[in-house]
Amino acid sequence: MKNGTKWKLMIEVHVLNLDGIWFGVACDQLQIVASSFSPTQQKTLSNVLASIPYQKPFQVFVKPSDFAQTASVCIKKIYDGQGVDEPLPLAYASLPAYTQKVLKATLQIPLGYVASYGAIAKAVGGSPRAVGNVMASNPFAPIVPCHRVVKTDLKLGGYGGGLRVKVELLNREKRGFSHSKQVQVDDGSLTVFPAEYVLNSLV
């Protein structure tokens, strides 16, 4: 734990169960390093550990720090379809530049809306396939709302946490919007569609 003269930055890993879902978050004192959720504690924990992008000592706490507590509550709110008022500080720095761009663009998709892989690719550069890759390895689920990214034909596409969860999240987030709109991302704009478009096409 100690490295000679001073403390290393410690990563704290915390899991909690809310409504039968295990939420996990890894953070240091300043920002979230990784997050995940799944039906089992073990899977959540291993997901989070696998997502920690660099080797640092970490510790699993039973009693979370204030920051970890706040982060967990935010994740739960997101899972409930409520969204959060304040953006959570995420540790992007260690991720590849393109990954950062895609994640940031994904964060711009408003609650209740979805965007396509292709549209994101257009906005940030690269190809839809590459965007899909970033989503697949999204270390900040569900904080970065990769569940709001779908195929061009408004079919679901895939989801790391399982398609059932993706549908569930979109169902909770839907707000009865009826028109697509444009949102600004980094250096382009992104067309987003109401979540209903996707949910309605499921039946």
Partner DNA sequence: TGCAAACCATAAC
Partner DNA sequence: GTTATGGTTTGCA
Which residues in this chain contact DNA in the complex, by CB under 7 A? Answer: 96-99, 116-118, 125-138, 141, 146-147, 149, 151-153, 157-160, 166
CB-nearer residue toward DNA: 51 or 72: 51
CB of 149 to DNA, least distance (A): 4
Count, residues in the chain = 203
Nearer to DNA, 48 or 67 (CB): 48
**Whether residue 146 lies in the annotated active site:** yes
Torsion sign (Cα): 10, 67, 141, 107: negative
Let me know: does 120 contact 106? Beta carbons within 8 Å: yes
Strand 188-194 and strand 21-27: the pairing is unpaired
Catalytic residue, candidates 25, 34, 146, 165 = 146
> Closest CB to DNA among 67 and 113?
113
Buried b vs exposed e over 81-98: b needs ≥16 C-beta within 10 Å? beeeeeebebbbeebeee
Instruction: Give min distance, CB of 132 to DNA, in A.
Output: 3
**Which is closer to DNA, CB of 83 or CB of 125?**
125
Q: Shortest approach of DNA to residue 94 CB, angstroms?
A: 10
Q: How far is the CB of 6 from DNA (least distance, A)?
A: 29
Sign of the Cα torsion 76, 81, 84, 87 reads positive
Catalytic residues: 146
